Structure 1
Amino acid sequence: MKKYLQYRRGYLCIWLLLCSVPILVQLLYGQALESILYGVGLATVLVLLFMVHDFLHFREKEEKRKQVAQNMGSRELCLFETNDPVEKEYLDLLGQLTERYCKQAEQLQTATKERQEYYTTWVHQVKTPMAAMNMLLQKKDTPESRQLQLQLFRMEEYVEMILHFTRLEESGTDFVFDSYDLDELIRKTIRKYASVFVQKKIAICYDTISAHVLTDEKWFCFVLEQVLSNALKYTNQGSVTIAMETPGLLTIRDTGIGIAPEDVPRVFEKGYTGYNGRADHKSTGLGLYLCKRTMNRLHHSISLTSVVGEGTTVTLDLRREERVIE
């Protein structure tokens, strides 16, 4: 009703003005008001009857407008009928815009799907020569071959990052939630980076964590790998410590170069590399961004603290409401 009165406030003002003018004229001339009040009362009744009919029509149009809003952007959009020529023109324009939007949305969806299929195919194809290179390098145990293996390992990381990035962009992602032994997931990730720890002569400090986590194994391990990769990338000496000092809070702490205070609030933004990333000339600014998005999809959270020259601590908050696995 309030919305309707605001919509028809112009008509109400005109009606009050038309009623008040005759009454004011009669008062100025000192004549009886009975005839004027009778006419005003009759006009008021007619106006009220019109407003009741108009309000019912307005409410019906409002319900149809809500239905249109719910189906906006769909070819199933059902527009209401109207006798108002101006409204008809607006409805025709809305129909044309909806059709144009649907065509553009279909074109964008097709282009996105083709691009994702291309990236996925490229990733799987490039893995074949990389695997062959790795086998050839393993036949020679020299300082040069170990360095090449390290660089090849980094290439594999970037390829996996692209694959996970394209999968996250898809509307449906292959998440499979279950209860996993956290210790096994961590040890699996550490074994993957064992050669990097050895070559960089960085110690890994980890004691068994007796805890289970409700998550997706593949995607959670991807986050662990990205965090561990960053710790190794920006740590030249010292150690990387993985621990759960507080139940549900997994911390990965390194003794690396740290992150500038002004960069810390933005490290999870897409493409943001910060001072260290720009100095390194190799940072893509995607690693922590993908970690943030993945943790959100897993219903976990991730945070980071850092001190320049002392190191960085990444905290994975694995606490969540109890859920039943069917």
Structure 2
Amino acid sequence: MSLIQFIKEKQFSVLLNLIALLIILMIFYLYGANVSLIILVTIIQFFFFLCSMIIEFYRMKKYYDELMDVFEQLDEKTFIADIVKEPSFYSGQVFYQVLKGATKVMNDRIASLKNAEREYHDYIELWVHEIKTPITALKLILTNSRTKENLPIQAEVSKIEEYVEQALFYARSSTLNQDYKIETFTLESIVNQAVKSLSLSLIRANGKIETNHLDLNVTSDSKWIVFILKQIIDNSIKYRSETLKISFSARKIENGTVLKISDNGIGIIESDIERIFNRGFTGTNGRDYAKSTGMGLYLCKTLCEKLGLLIKAESQDESGTTIKIFFPDRLNILN
């Protein structure tokens, strides 16, 4: 609180005191009071009024400055009423009681929402684990009776499995700090895992994989990185041209390593490139070429941010897409 703000707040009080002082002085003057007495009364009245205003200003300023300092330092702003002291002046006490009441209601609602979110998260994880059982059984049946007619069914079952996995990773993305394992591994190992997982889809798409300089080590969570790569590969399959080619290459740069994934697909139009990592954004090609949910690249971006990685897309319409992932030498994991 500044002095100007305080004066503006007390302007009516100051005005009324000035009017009262003028009335008293006029009465003294009309009754023929001595000029020295009038001046003395004016000085005494002004002195005590000024002292009261100064004391009130510093008392309020001290309290509100401390309140703002505490508020700015708090990570959980909703705890402010439990930490700040009750003020000694009445107007502040009223504000403090209102703040405590409102904070309690808000914290109760936040706790209720967090509980509901936790229950929903637990249900999604349980559902995913339960649904995996019939999917695995169905894949086993199709494998044991492998025929030409069953290949399309196998591919669709694989898609179902991918979407189920996407739902699981989306549910876990909000609690990444409880579900990650940081280790050092080669880019070649995780690329191979991702490609192998999508081998059936790549075969159906007549896809060709090229790798170059993937023997570099990076540090992150391999499970989450494989998931990110699978989303990128899946996009390349969805938006492929007649002959699909996906290339993986890596190079060491200052402070980290860059993994580049390029395809020769239909590309991304210029007006969409800045929005492809937005949640639910499908873009022009997503609506025209494939049934897209707009969640794959959003999850890639979210997980990369939480893992302390950077992800960037480069593309031109009809000329393929390149995704670059930067693995820093020093990780900064977000909770």
Class of the TM-score when normalised by the shorter of the 2 chains: 0.7 to 0.9
- SS, match of residue 251 in structure 1: strand
Contact preservation (8 Å) 2:182, 2:219: yes
Moved more, 128-137 or 204-213: 204-213
Q: Give the distance between the partners of 1:161 and 1:42, measured in 2 at CA.
A: 78
* Residue in 2 that maps onto 1:135: 140
Cα RMSD for the two superposed structures? 3.2
1:278 to 281, 284, 287: 287
1:211-240 deviation per Cα after TM superposition (whole angstroms, max 9, x unaligned): 111211111111111111111221141311
Q: Aligned partner of 2:317: which letter?
A: V
* Residue in 2 that maps onto 1:190: 195
How do 1:1-326 and structure 2 match up within 5 A? 3-9=2-8, 10-11=10-11, 14=15, 41-62=43-64, 65-66=67-68, 69=71, 70=74, 72-74=77-79, 76=82, 80-82=86-88, 84=90, 86-170=91-175, 172-236=177-241, 237-244=243-250, 247=253, 248-280=257-289, 282-321=291-330
Q: What are structure 1's unaligned runs of at least 5 residues?
A: 26-31
Note the C-alpha offset of 1:250: 1.2
Note the C-alpha offset of 1:21: 7.6
Moved more, 231-240 or 91-100: 91-100
1:24-78 deviation per Cα after TM superposition (whole angstroms, max 9, x unaligned): x9xxxxxx99777666555554344334422332234225534774475248355
Note the C-alpha offset of 1:268: 0.5
Q: Give the distance between the partners of 1:171 and 1:138, measured in 2 at CA.
A: 34
1:6-32 deviation per Cα after TM superposition (whole angstroms, max 9, x unaligned): 21344596499679989xx9xxxxxx9
Contact preservation (8 Å) 2:258, 2:326: yes
1:268-324 deviation per Cα after TM superposition (whole angstroms, max 9, x unaligned): 01011111212245211100000000000111111112222221111112235478x
Q: Give the distance between the partners of 1:90 and 1:55, measured in 2 at CA.
A: 17
Contact preservation (8 Å) 2:248, 2:259: yes
Q: Give the distance between the partners of 1:57 and 1:171, measured in 2 at CA.
A: 46
Distance 1:200 1:288, change over 3 A: same
Q: Give the distance between the partners of 1:16 and 1:56, measured in 2 at CA.
A: 20
Moved more, 239-248 or 46-55: 46-55
Distance 1:281 1:182, change over 3 A: closer
Note the C-alpha offset of 1:241: 0.8
Q: Aligned partner of 1:126: which letter?
A: I
Q: Give the distance between the partners of 1:61 and 1:222, measured in 2 at CA.
A: 51
TM-score when normalising by structure 2: 0.81
TM-score when normalising by structure 1: 0.83
Q: Give the distance between the partners of 1:195 and 1:171, measured in 2 at CA.
A: 29
Q: Give the distance between the partners of 1:145 and 1:303, measured in 2 at CA.
A: 38
Q: Give the distance between the partners of 2:35 and 2:320, measured in 1 at CA.
A: 90
Contact preservation (8 Å) 2:187, 2:215: yes
* Residue in 2 that maps onto 1:28: none
Distance 1:192 1:171, change over 3 A: closer
Note the C-alpha offset of 1:82: 4.3
Contact preservation (8 Å) 2:21, 2:45: no
Moved more, 62-71 or 238-247: 62-71
- SS, match of residue 178 in structure 2: coil
The percent identity for this pair of structures is 24
Distance 1:322 1:283, change over 3 A: closer
- SS, match of residue 150 in structure 2: helix
Q: Give the distance between the partners of 1:116 and 1:241, measured in 2 at CA.
A: 36
Q: Give the distance between the partners of 2:210 and 2:216, measured in 1 at CA.
A: 18
